[in-house]
Structure 1
Amino acid sequence: MSHPPETYRSIDLERTGDFTFAATNARGGVLPMGSGDDDSFTPVELLLAALAGCGAIDLEHLTGKRAPFASFAARSDGHKVRDELGNHLVDLRVTFDVTFPEGEGGDRAREILPRALSQIEGRLCAVGRTVQVGDPVRYVSGPVEP
Structure 2
Amino acid sequence: MTNDSTRKVTMTRESEGVYVATNAAGDSLTFGQGEGMLSPVELMLAAIAGCSSIDLDAMTSRRVQPDRFNVTASADKATHDGGAILENIVVEWDLLFPEGADGDKARARVGAALKSSREKTCTVSRTVEAGVPVEFREV
- The secondary structure found in structure 2 opposite 1:101 is coil
- Structure-2 separation of matches of 1:52 and 1:16: 27
SS of 2:43's partner is: helix
1:33-76 per-position Cα deviation (integer Å, ceiling 9, x unaligned): 113x2221111000011111111111111112222212111111
Q: What is the letter of the counterpart of residue 123 of structure 2? A: A
The reply on whether 1:74 has 2:108 as its aligned counterpart is no
Aligned length: 139
Q: 1:141 to 1:55 in 2, by over 3 A?
A: same
- Write the distance in 2 (CA, Å) between the matches of 1:115 and 1:39: 36
Mapping of residues 1-146 of structure 1, within 5 Å: 3-4=3-4, 7-35=5-33, 37-84=34-81, 86-142=83-139
Tell me how large the CA RMSD over aligned residues is.
1.7
Does the residue aligned with 1:16 lie in a helix, a strand or coil?
A: strand
1:86 Cα deviation after fit: 2.1
Q: TM-score, normalised by structure 1?
A: 0.88
Runs of 4+ in 1 over 6 A off after TM superposition: none
State the identity as a percent.
Answer: 35
Gaps of 5+ in 2: none
CA separation in 2, counterparts of 1:10 and 1:71? 32
The one-letter code of the counterpart of 1:31 is L
Q: Which runs of 5+ in 1 are unaligned?
A: none
Tell me which amino acid in the other structure corresponds to 1:130: T
